[in-house]
Each structure stands twice: as C-alpha cells, then as structure tokens.
Chain A
Amino acid sequence: MQNFLLLLSYLIGSISFIVGLKMLSHPDTARKGNLYAAVGMSIAIFATIFLYTDESGQHLGNYLWIFGGLIIGTAIGTMMAKKVQMTAMPQMVSLFNGMGGACAAIISIVEFKHLMHQQSSHDIGGSITQLLSTIIESVTTTPSNPKLTLLTILVGLVIGTVSFFGSMIAFGKLNGNINDKTLPAQQVVNIGLLLVIVGLIVVMLTGTTGLSLPVLFWSLFAISALYGILFVMPIGGADMPVVISLLNSFTGVAAACGGFLYHNPVMLTGGILVGSAGTILTILMCKAMNRSLTNVIVGAFGGNKTGGAATESGGAYKEISMSDTAVLMAYSKRVVIVPGYGLAVAQAQHTCHELEKVLEEKGVELTYAIHPVAGRMPGHMNVLLAEADVPYEKLKEMEEINPEFAQTDVVLILGANDVVNPAAKNDPSSPIYGMPILEVENATHVIVNKRSMKPGYAGIENALFYQPKTSMLFGDAKKVLQDLVSELKGM
C-alpha cells in the first residue's frame, strides 16, 4: 500500500512537470504552470520522506537532519529569490543551477563511499570486454550490479561537477567579478581534459591500473572541476545565455543519473525532460543569434578576440544636447526605442515607460525593438519592460521591426551596443560577425545613450557611433530619461 502511494505520488510529480512545462510556454498559463510543477515537486519530496523504503523495507531515518536541511534551504532560497533585482536574474538562474549540480555531485560522492564499503575494489576489476558483458548481464539480472552502479555514479559526478563549477564561473562573470580569460591553446586543453575524463572512467571500470579507486575518483572530481572552469572561462559576450542554458540541461542529465541510481521514475522523467528541453532551448537561442552550438563553445567570441577589437577606435562622433533630443523626438512621427543592458543596469525601465507616455500624448507613435538577446538573456528585456507596465503590443521582435526602421524618424538606443553593431553584418573579421542585428542605421536619426564611449560586453568598437546620422547622448540611462521627460513636459 505504501509503495503504491509512493509510486502514485511519483506519477503525479512526473505529470505535473510535463503539464507545468507545457503551460509555461503560454503567457496566459505560465504562472499556473510554474505553480503546478512546484506542487508536484512538493508531493514527490514529501512522499519520498515518509513513504520511501529500501530493499529490506526499512524507512528513511534522520528526519531531524532532513527537515533541518529543507527548512534552511527554503529560508535562504526564498530570501535570495525575493531580494534579487530583476536585472540580476541571469546570475540567479546560474547560481541555482549550480546548486542543483553540486547536489548531484555530492550524491555521487556519498554513493561512491557506500559502494566502496560494500565492495572491495578488487571485485570491480576486469577487462573491457568483461566490463561490457557484465554491464549487459548485470542489468538483466540484478539492478545493483557494482559496475553499472559505479558507471552511473561517475557520470553523475562528472556532469554535476562540471555544471557546478561552470555555473559558478558564469555567475561570477555575469556579476562582473570575473573577466573573460583565454589560455593559450584553450581548445586543445579542453579537449585534452575531456579525453582524460573519459579515460579515467574507463580505467576505473576496467581496473587496469594499480592505483586505488578512491584516488582515481578524486582525480576525476578535480579534473571535472577544472574542465567546468575552463569550459566557461573564455566564453563571453552575447553567448553567455547559451552557456547557462546548456549548463541547465547538464544538471538535468545529472539528476537523471540519480534517477538511474535509485531507480526513481520522477527523478528520471524530471531530469531527462529538463535535459532535452534545455538542449532545445539552447539550440533555439543559438538560432536567434545565427550561430551554431559548436561555434559558441569552440567559439570566436573568446577565441580570437583580437580580430575586430582594436580596429576603428577613435574617430569623430558628435554629441547632442538634451533639449535638441527632446525637440527632435517630439516632432517625429515614429520613434523606436532599443533597450539594452544599460537600461537594465540603470533600473530605468519605469522612466522609459514615462517617456513613452509623454511622447504618445504628443501624438508620436512609439514602439520598442527587442533583440532576442537584449539584456543578456532571451526574453530578459521583456520581463524588465513588463515590470514597468509596458503593454505587450508595443514590444516588437527583431524580424518584425527590422523592415520598419526605414520609415522611422528617430531611433533611441538606451544602453544597447553589440545588438546594433553593423560589424555583425559587414565585417567578417569581427567576433560578432553573423549575429543578426537590429538594422537601426536605416532610420533617419539615431540617438545613442551610453555612459561613455567604452565598448560593450563583447569588447568591440561600434562603427555605428561614428556615422554622420548618429548622435551621442552621454549619461546614465535613468538620469538622461528623467531629464528628457521633464524637458518634453515643459515644451
């Protein structure tokens, strides 16, 4: 009876994940979908605590520790999630993702100790052919074959560890604590490390060295950690969301490894679901940037930064005064605002909405052009603008708005840079070459608000700023918008 209830709870959990993900893909049902998944998760967790029994029918113990952990985790998690600024969202997702990866890695470590206890390392030796036959045999006979268990533990350890260290680096980079760094021959080093990881796993399963298993195990852990760090380290620029999404699906696979280890259906479905959905999401993001996944990982962004970086610095640009900007915008028919990370950092989304209202009172038609990766994560800018009550209909996607720039009088760029850089279209040597951009240079006037002439996140110069139709409006996005609004109101 108890086992039936446990399995039923797991079934409910799995269904809630599927339904939740499905509902998350429609704006109207998204919030409910998230709630369903959360409820399903809670059911699965509490069913495990109270109903789970091992082979000998023994219930779980250590309730004090379990609930202590749950309470501490819930308190810290809720506090962090409630306090985080909307602009810091990508880091937060990366951080939570890392926690999941670490959790999977720790499970592997404990289960490895467990396995070592049961089995003397001598038993887990043998040749590769023996290994394969044992694996195949083992699954048919008993679920707890040591080699298969070891394989699952090792895969969980590697993926969980890579995911944790990778996510921490991604967190540090997005938070501005860590800069992009590229080792000489980075790709060779990375591929080498990957081969070492695979080699170590094979050696451990076949037992072909004199080294003890724990030594190999901890080396595997260390090399996985190093790989996680080096894998994310050189990736920068607009590619960061892709990496987070990729690490997200890694953690999903690590969770699925746990599902295999415990023959737990809800961990398996949940993990695989996120693994495949995360992969698809990663590919969709790459498509949005017109880059292939290998290109991102092996990538031009970090790999050969010297290409376009040094070219065309300096040059003449012209500034525009606040009142000129106000006049120019007030007497335009169509204005398009291109929001970018600068707007997000300055927390200027509300002031931006105010500007929109003032201009509309003056009969100006105003829309927002949203680049797929504006704000560093797909959809991030939509979240920020929704926070400021900007209606959906005003947000136009790139494909929709690009043909309309030719009929636009003024484009106001707020803290965006790389997504409007014409080098992506016409300079094959540029690191961002091939990324689709907002074709703002087709508009009559382009006004760029930036804090300084410093290059954007990808670290490259933007020729747009030196074009004759472009004017620069320096200052913090929020301050500039406030001044602009009061200027317009006074007209």
Chain B
Amino acid sequence: MDAIFDFFSANYDMITIVILSIFLGIEVISRVPSVLHTPLMSGANAIHGVVIIGAIIVMGQAAQDDYLALTLGFLAVILGTLNVVGGFVVTDRMLEMFKKKPKK
C-alpha cells in the first residue's frame, strides 16, 4: 500500500498532466461544429507529430559509429517532420477556404 502512495506522490506531476489533458481534450472537442470536423482531425493529427521531439533526441544521442541508430533516427526525424509540416499545411489549406469572402 505504501508503495502505491509513494508511486502517486512521486509521479504526482505526470499523473496530473495526463488526467487534466484528458479532460481538456474532451472539453475542447465537444463544442466543435461538424463543419470543422475534418480540419480539426487534421490539426490534431499535426499536433501528435510532437513525437518528432523524441526522434530528435534519439538522433542527437546516437553515437557516431552506431549506424543503425543513426539511420533509424534519421528516418524517424524525416517521418516526424512529414507528420508535423504536412499536417499543419494541409489544415491551413482547408481552413483558408473558410475565410469569409468580402461581399461584392
């Protein structure tokens, strides 16, 4: 039992982040009009591209002669960047169309 208490207090910050983020995600999304579902999905898609930070850390810590880690890390950085950049640009392209046109 003590172990659980310890676990809780030691990781209090991480647990708080996870739980608050879950509620925040639910709260933010439940008010979206269905018109915006596709851009929103695409925007969220770009945000999980944050995984690229992990790829950068892997890459940056790889030893000079560890070719496997270097190659895989390099690949991961490219794929992560694709996710981030592609995601944001596509979302922007979609939303550009929602811009209110000046009345003629």
A residues adjacent to B (C-beta < 8 A) = 13, 17-18, 20-22, 24-27, 30-31, 33-35, 37-38, 41, 44-45, 48-49, 52, 54, 59-63, 65-66, 68-70, 72-74, 76-78, 80-82, 84, 86, 89-90, 92-93, 95-97, 99-100, 102-104, 106-107, 109-111, 113-114, 133, 136-137, 139-140, 244-245, 248, 251-252, 254-256, 258-281, 284-285, 288, 372, 377-380, 382-383, 386-387, 389, 392, 395, 397
Query: A397: which B residues are within 8 A, CB to CB?
Result: 34
Instruction: Give A140 to B2 CA distance when docked, in angstroms.
Output: 11
Cβ-defined partner of A107 (8 Å) among B43, B49, B58: B58
Cβ-defined partner of B45 (8 Å) among A82, A114, A248: A248
User: Known: A65-B70, A100-B51, A383-B38. Is A277-B25 also a contact (CB below 8 A)?
Assistant: yes
Instruction: Give A279 to B49 CA distance when docked, in angstroms.
Output: 17
Query: A379: which B residues are within 8 A, CB to CB?
Result: 34-40
Query: A72: which B residues are within 8 A, CB to CB?
Result: 78, 81
Query: B45: which A residues are within 8 A, CB to CB?
Result: 93, 96-97, 100, 248, 251, 274
Query: A281: which B residues are within 8 A, CB to CB?
Result: 29, 32, 37, 40-41, 44
Q: Which of B39-57 contact A (CB under 8 A)?
A: 39-57
Asked if B53 contacts A34 (CB within 8 A), the reply is no
Cβ-defined partner of B77 (8 Å) among A65, A104, A109, A267: A65
Query: A382: which B residues are within 8 A, CB to CB?
Result: 35, 38
Closest to A17 in B: B47
Asked if A106 contacts B53 (CB within 8 A), the reply is no
Asked if A378 contacts B34 (CB within 8 A), the reply is yes
Q: Could you list 6 further interchain pairs (A-B, Cβ under 8 angstroms) beyond the known A31-B96, A245-B41?
A: A62-B73, A63-B60, A78-B89, A84-B90, A275-B22, A288-B34
Asked if A274 contacts B44 (CB within 8 A), the reply is yes
Q: Which of B48-104 contact A (CB under 8 A)?
A: 48-62, 64, 68-70, 72-99, 101
Chain B interface secondary structure, helix, strand, loop or mixed? helix
Chain A interface secondary structure, helix, strand, loop or mixed? helix
User: Known: A24-B39, A30-B36, A107-B54. Is A273-B24 also a contact (CB below 8 A)?
Assistant: yes
Closest 10 CB pairs of A and B: A73-B81, A60-B60, A69-B77, A276-B25, A77-B85, A378-B37, A270-B50, A77-B86, A81-B89, A258-B54
Among A65, A73, A387, chain B packs the most CB atoms within 10 A around the CB of A73
Instruction: Give A252 to B25 CA distance when docked, in angstroms.
Output: 11
Asked if A104 contacts B38 (CB within 8 A), the reply is no
